[in-house]
Every structure is written in C-alpha cells, then in structure tokens.
Structure 1
C-alpha cells in the first residue's frame, strides 16, 4: 500500500462530508481492500454522522475480509480509483507573493492588497468559467499524515458586544436620543485627552479671540462662497460652528468627514465669538503605535463571507474545493472559520430576485447551507454573523438568528452572534461586521479614500472614525438602542467584513483590514449595477503572526 494512501483516504472522506479519527484512517489504510473498507465504514456510520470512528472500521474488519460479498454504495469504486491514482482534487499551490500588511496571495497582487487581473479574464475578476492553473498533488513528505488532530484544550474563544436578545428600542424619539448620547460619550472619551474640551454651551459664553476646543458629532458640513468649510459640531449642550480655511494643511480631511461621526477641533474664536477658526482637527482613530495581540501557537482562521446559498450563481464547485482543502494536511492548522454574513441569498432583497433563485424558500436555503456546512471538518470552531440577505432585521445592529434558524444551522455547534461582534480567538480580537455601511462610505468619500476596487481603504475610514456605521439617515438602516453597539470602543487586531463582494486587505496602524470577497458568481442584477465580484477566495489568517494567505478555489 503506498505511503500516501492515508492522505488520499482523508481527502475522499472529505468529498463525501465525513471526518475520521486518526486510528480509523490507519485501520482503513492497512486493510486488504481499503476502498471497500472505507465504503463499509461510511455506511456503518450512517448519513447523519460527521465522523467515521475506529469502532466503525473495526466492526467492518471483524465481519471478514472487508465483507466483499455484499453490495456496497458507489463510494467504493470512487475510493478505489482514488487510492490507485494520484489525487488532483487539491487547489493549485502557487508561490505566495508578499503584499501590503505582510499578507500573501496565491497570485500576484499590487501593494494595496487588491487582486491583479486573472490571466483568463481581462476585467481582472475571476469566475467559475475561467481556466485555472493545472491542479497538482502536494509533494510527499517524510512519514504519513493521518488526518486532522487538533487539541481543543489549546483553544480560547470569547464573544463581546453580542446584542442578540438585548434589543430594547421601540423607535420612539427617546431611543434615538439615548443611542446618540451613548455614541458621543464613548467616542468623546477617546478624544478628550488630546484637547482641552469645552461644551458648546460654555464656548458660546466665551469672549472673542479666546482659544477654544470642542468635541462633538458632525451635525452639518457646507462650503462657503469663498471655498472654505463650515463644520457644525453638536454635543449634549448644543451646537457650535467651526470654520476650516481652505488653505489649511488639514483642509482636505474635511472631504473625508461623514455626518454624525465624532471629531475634536482646536482653534480661536472670532472677535464676535460667534464662530471658531479651526487650527487642528482630530478623529478618535487607532493609535499609530498600536501593537496587535497574537496567539501563542501556530493556529489559523479562515475568513469568508457572502456564501449566498440559494442563488443560481452560488459556486458549488469552488465551495467544495475549499471544504475539501480544509481536510488536507496543508490546512491542518486551520481551526477556526469566521463567516461575516449572507449565508443565503434570501428572498425579495432586490428587484426581480426571484428570477435568479435556485431555491425559492428561505428556510430551504438555510437547510441547504447547513448541508454545505457539513463538508467543513467537524473539529473546527465556526462563527457566523448575519448580513443584509439573511432572515433577520435589516437595521443595524442585527441580532443573531432566531431559534428556528439556529436549529437548522446547528451543524458543528456553530457560534452565532450579532452583526457586529468582536470575537477573540486565542487573544486575537477580530471585529466581524457584515459591511453594509461600506456602500455609504464609498458613495460619500473621494475615490482615492474609498472605492469598491479597494474595499479595505473604506474600512480604514471606519477604523479612523472608530465606528462601523457613523452616518445616520442614509442608505444604512440603523436601529436605536439604549447603547450604540456600533462603536469600536476597543481597537481590534483584525477587522473582517464582506457585503461588497470584493477582495481587499491591508494594514491600518497595524490593524489588519480584510474584505473577504464572496462565493457567488456575477448575477444579472450585479451586472445591471456594474458589480464584478471577486468570488471563490478564502483568506487564511495566521493568528500567531497576523500574516495572511489568500487562497483561490474558483
């Protein structure tokens, strides 16, 4: 029996949605007829099992020389051909290239972390029809790999800011006042150490020519006839106008302001004390000296989003190549899977969506998603948050799924939390946010500051503002709660989003920002709004170094 047979057995089990105990793989590899033994063990485990155990294999072997006189499933012939010939099921292993933020990619990327054109598609966007490099089997190494064998006792996992079951908002005026007061208090605390803050009410009573400083939410932005900028700030005591002269070196920063974000200004009051001439402007921001946390051992997390099961364009082949890869030796350190929303395509999300659905019932979509989730190794920790296509409220923050949907998606005991949430994996803080506000940031800010081609730059803006959805009343629906769950009170080590179906990553003040693309090829609706998705990619994050490899499965 060739030495590589155990690895082939593990891959074959993965294709059919099963894991196996290390001893089970060893027993199958040593059997007189490994293919038949594997098929018998799978049949004994049953269709509802996730793992083939050593007990299953021994029961088969104790029944005779693989009991070959009885009929078996079609799996037998598949396994026999798999163990007889070299496997080509693994995705191509291209030479990684270093890119922005210490990340690596399987194909060249520019220094922004955005993918460069795929050789088969002049638009630069991969699709299921594009030819890929020839798939190859990983070279043999010394010894035999007997399958994944993680030690769960080494893991640590925590979720913060989960508002599931905590919603108190009724939509009344008082709820809006509470959430904005909470936003102001949290963000102003991060700014008051930088300026000698005075409330708007106190500044109004100061004499002309006095030095002044204020922390407030941006209430209005408008340009004057002379081309200067008038920014009106609001705190809990009132509002005050602040003038940014067009010739000041920081004047361009006004172009990046959004309504309702929190900033601090310092300046001098006019002679009549009716306006402040701004000398400096500050955002809450991430400290430039921030040092991210890392894990104490080599362990990895796969960051994905926007699976969109139920769509006619869901990339089944790419997904199965991804989940098969997770069962290989190359992926043995991937112990966490983080999914940043849009597990399913949903129903009625955009005009004429029903014409592009493969599964028209929302619950059937989740049932099918759960089936695909069974292909993931059962020893992985899975974390999921909802997105705007999922069956939860659209207004953010979005609570986690209800009990019925949780029961449907109970595969591998996945952790389901709200959008957004901060998940701490072995000391590494990962802020998971689906990313609907990225549309607004990209629409409002200059192209060099935020664009769909470089979604991570829009994420930098949210990190700078320390809020995942700062602007109220625009396209992003926001729910008033007793507190603002969308504020980044703590600096994350990793910021993970999806939604825009574009792949991009980079580091902002040592925080790794990752938008992980999608698993849905371009739909007719996306064509109509000029969205060309980056589909079939899986960013793989080393939690011990925060380096990242982007793997392509499409």
Structure 2
C-alpha cells in the first residue's frame, strides 16, 4: 500500500490529543496498514505521554506483530542484492536486481520499508541541512529597465570585489584621463569580443563609468583565454595604455576563480548523499524500473549511510516544453505528473532527508533564479516533507556546501566555447568554466533566461565544496581546484526529440557522495 500522507497522520494523532515526532509519523505512514498502525500507537501509548515518539510507535508495531500467527509467507523476503558487475570505471558500481511494483515482497518498497530485510536505523539527531540565498518568496523584479540595470550593477560589484586585489584597478573615466604609456588595470564586464584584421583580440570592458577597449595580441600566452570569454561575465586585465591612452594593451587576464588556497569542508561523521536530477515522471521514456532498483537499493545495508537525497530539478516531464511533446507524454496533465512523482518519491526510505530545486521542465517560471514550487504543488508533493527551494540553492549539508543548480546555462557554455573546454560528453568541464567565472549563468540574452531582481542570485559569492547540476542528461564528474563538479545524468531514456538533436542520455545513474571524505561512487541502475 502506498504511504499515507504524513500530514493526514499528524492530523489524526492531534485529534487524539497527541503531538508526534517526525520519525513517529513517518513510521506510521510507512506501515503496511497505516490506519491499524495509528490505532495501535494510540492504544498502547503511555497515559502520560504528550508527544508520541518513534520508540512508542516501534513498540506498538511490535505488539501488533505478536498478535498475528507466525506465518513465514507473511514476511518480506530478501531481494535486490547487488549484482556485483562493475563498469570499466572502478568508481561506477552495479545497481540492484529489478523489481516490479505490486508484486508482493519483491516489489518496489514503500516509505521506511524495503524488500532486502535490512532495517535502516540512522541517528537523525546528528543531521544538519540548511539553505542560504533562496529566491523563493523574495522575487521583486517587474521587468523594467531599471531592474536590469540594478541586477547587472550588483553582479559587477560582487565579482569586481573578488578581482580588485589582483590588478591596479582604475575606473574607465580615469583611464581615459591618464597619460599614455602608463601601466594600468581594469575590472569590467565583457561588453564585446571581436577579432581584428590582424588576428588580435579586441575586448570591450564596461564598468559603472563607461566602456574601454582592451587589446590582447595573438602572440601573447593569454590569447587562449579569450576563447573562454562569455559576454556579461566580469574579468580583470592588467597591461599598458597606448600612447594616446585610447586602448589598453593587455599583459594578463584574470577570472574571479576558485582560490588556489581553497580547502573544502567535510562532515564530522561518515554520512552520504545521493545526487540525482532529471527524473522526468510523465514522459513515456521515464525509466520506472531503474527508479525502483535505485529506491530498492536505498533500503539495503549497502546504502545505510545514504541519509540525504538532493534532486537538481526536472522532477516531471512538464507540458509544452518542446515541439510535439504531447506525442511523448505518458501523463498529459501537469498536476497528475506531480502526483505520480510524489508516489515514486514514497519509495525512498522515510528516514531520508530530501531536498529539491526546480528545473526548466517544472511548473515554475523559466527565468532564473527560479523560485520553489507554489503551495498547490507543495501540497501534492507531501511525501517525506521534502524541502523545496529555488534554483540555484546553496545547501549546507552537515557543514559541506553543495551548490545545486539545474544547469540550463550549460547549453550556452557548450555552444560558445571550444569543444576541448566544454562539451556534452564531458559536462563537468563546462561546470569548471562556471566555477572559474563564479557565476552559474554569466551570459544574458541567449539560451538562458534571466530575471532581474534586487540582487544577482546567480553569483557564486561563496566557493562551494560540491557543484551539482543536471539538465543536459549526461553523467560527468571531476574536481576543479578541490571543488567537486558533478552532473548527475537523468532517469529518462532517449526521446524522439532528443534523438532529433543528437542527445544520447546517460540514464539510471546515482552518484553517491561521501560527505566526510568528498569521495564519490556512481551506481548504475539501468
């Protein structure tokens, strides 16, 4: 039986005069017969108990089992053992055996109860998870011209503050008034990049005082860095002014960057987080069997330390996202898609902390930063009392800073930069570029829609320990200056639309991150 709504269970307990801990509600909701479990818990609770605890519920369920005749066919059989097969990459391991929902003991698990016979019992008192800088409920932009000026000015101020110590910065109006031949530096936003007739590079940089031309000679060692530039990102240059002070000859070019001295944070205990994205429930190509294998595995002893599930957007397939999408939908109503997703989410162990952000297929505005889901959708996705935040979100998980961003701007980076520096086959390298620029969506007016707000929520003011994205449906991970970058693939097989644009998805993978060591293993459930 699918798990009952935790909110309904809590309400029913309140009607009997009980407050209840979150763990107690989850145990009751995940029982084979929630109504019977609720009645038992109320019946057997101590008379003086004001708060129903997990121990009270466990004791009640044990008494209930003692009342039944011992029947070996009434117990869950062990199942879903790891198949032991390994990919060519030693950090990729096999998933669990296939199981179908509704097939008895071997079927897909419901909350808090799997089919392996192993009972998870984490110490939830040590958990800690919080989110900083969430746009949800904070949006003030009206789309007026002044709003765009304000957000770009905020971007410039935040990123220029990280760059001014590297060059002898002088505002553009001061440069124009300077004597020719002097050494000078400038921090500015890239306004234009073009090549000259002689093959040199002319970069126009803009600050709050104006625009100034900067020339990178083709024989300079820094000329290769010009290939990495995107419009609207903030950089710093150092060099020499021309004799008439009308142009700056660039000797060095600097990105905001991850400092080389950066040391990542780690958790104080052995605990793991599963990083996934792009579930796409509602699509005909949603891989339900792979999802069942994943959630079944989460109930096994091998996964007992996986206490967090972080989902980086696109929970559902959505409606009207791309041409002729209706032909590829299994569920055509957007609300029914979220109801189905919520049911699949109930297969995750009830003791896990779940945090999710939206993506471009979800029912929120397309412009970034995206706020979290509205109350109607939150009510639908009530399983586990999942935390729902905006895109992007900087998540602190037991001291480890995880920057979650769905990843629409990766399309832009991959389209604009050379293949060696950004490609769909190696999405983590495109993520390196965003870390270098300290902004998740630098270029305005292209593939990524940006909403003007009072501040630029897309700037990476803090260096994350982990950068987690999705969107491109490709699996890739690596380290950039000690920051782990991981794109977690998807749970959707190739659609006709993806085939038409040459997208070959990496589906059914679950990256598992050790928060105490920041090492990662990728499990294959396809």
1:212 is aligned to 2:202 = no
Q: Distance in 1 between matches of 2:118 and 2:301?
A: 9
Q: Distance in 1 between matches of 2:37 and 2:80?
A: 23
Give SS of 1:241's match. strand
Contact 2:511 2:522 in 1 (8 A): yes
How far off is 1:97 after superposition?
Answer: 7.3
Contact 1:91 1:552 in 2 (8 A): no
Question: How do residues 341-420 of structure 1 correspond to structure 2 at under 5 angstroms?
Answer: 341-420=313-392
Change (3 A) 1:54 1:95: farther
Contact 1:45 1:56 in 2 (8 A): no
Change (3 A) 1:263 1:419: same
Q: Distance in 1 between matches of 2:34 and 2:62?
A: 8
Gaps of 5+ in 2: 5-30, 40-53, 100-115
How many aligned residue pairs are there? Answer: 466
- TM-score (norm: length of structure 1): 0.81
Contact 2:511 2:521 in 1 (8 A): yes
Render the CA deviation track for 1:253-280: whole Å, top value 9, x for unaligned: 0011000000000010111111000000
1:55 is aligned to 2:55 = no
Render the CA deviation track for 1:362-398: whole Å, top value 9, x for unaligned: 0000000000000001111100000000000000000
How far off is 1:88 after superposition?
Answer: 4.6
Q: Match of 1:93?
A: 84
1:495 is aligned to 2:486 = no
1:552 is aligned to 2:524 = yes
Q: Match of 1:42?
A: 32
Contact 2:393 2:404 in 1 (8 A): yes
Contact 2:277 2:489 in 1 (8 A): yes
Give SS of 1:430's match. strand
From 286, 289, 302, give the equivalent of 1:330: 302
Q: Distance in 2 between matches of 1:429 and 1:216?
A: 28
How far off is 1:156 after superposition?
Answer: 1.2
Contact 2:118 2:299 in 1 (8 A): no
How far off is 1:455 after superposition?
Answer: 0.2
Render the CA deviation track for 1:303-338: whole Å, top value 9, x for unaligned: 000000000000000001100110110000000000
1:65 is aligned to 2:37 = no
Q: Match of 1:297?
A: 269
Question: How do residues 497-512 of structure 1 correspond to structure 2 at under 5 angstroms?
Answer: 497-512=469-484
Contact 1:349 1:389 in 2 (8 A): yes
Q: Match of 2:290?
A: 318
Question: How do residues 20-169 of structure 1 correspond to structure 2 at under 5 angstroms?
Answer: 42-43=32-33, 53-62=58-67, 64-66=68-70, 83=77, 87-94=78-85, 104-106=91-93, 147-169=119-141
Give SS of 1:451's match. coil
Q: Distance in 2 between matches of 1:471 and 1:383?
A: 28
Change (3 A) 1:232 1:44: closer
Contact 1:315 1:519 in 2 (8 A): yes
Give SS of 2:296's match. helix
Q: Distance in 1 between matches of 2:351 and 2:155?
A: 39
How far off is 1:45 after superposition?
Answer: 5.0
Q: Match of 2:422?
A: 450
How far off is 1:89 after superposition?
Answer: 1.8
Render the CA deviation track for 1:151-208: whole Å, top value 9, x for unaligned: 1110111101101010010000100000000000000000011111000111010011
Q: Match of 1:118?
A: none
Contact 1:44 1:56 in 2 (8 A): no
Render the CA deviation track for 1:435-480: whole Å, top value 9, x for unaligned: 0000000000000000000000000000000000000011100000
Change (3 A) 1:236 1:44: closer
Change (3 A) 1:523 1:323: same
Q: Distance in 1 between matches of 2:214 and 2:93?
A: 49
Q: Structure 1 residue runs of 4+, over 3 Å off?
A: 43-49, 51-54, 93-99
Give SS of 2:505's match. coil
How far off is 1:346 after superposition?
Answer: 0.2
How far off is 1:93 after superposition?
Answer: 3.2
Q: Match of 2:145?
A: 173
Q: Distance in 1 between matches of 2:304 and 2:159?
A: 41
Q: Distance in 2 between matches of 1:173 and 1:311?
A: 38
From 435, 450, 465, give the equivalent of 2:437: 465
Give SS of 1:320's match. helix
Contact 1:90 1:321 in 2 (8 A): no
Give SS of 1:540's match. strand
Give SS of 2:250's match. strand
Q: Distance in 2 between matches of 1:320 and 1:509?
A: 36
Q: Distance in 1 between matches of 2:407 and 2:297?
A: 27
Change (3 A) 1:341 1:234: same
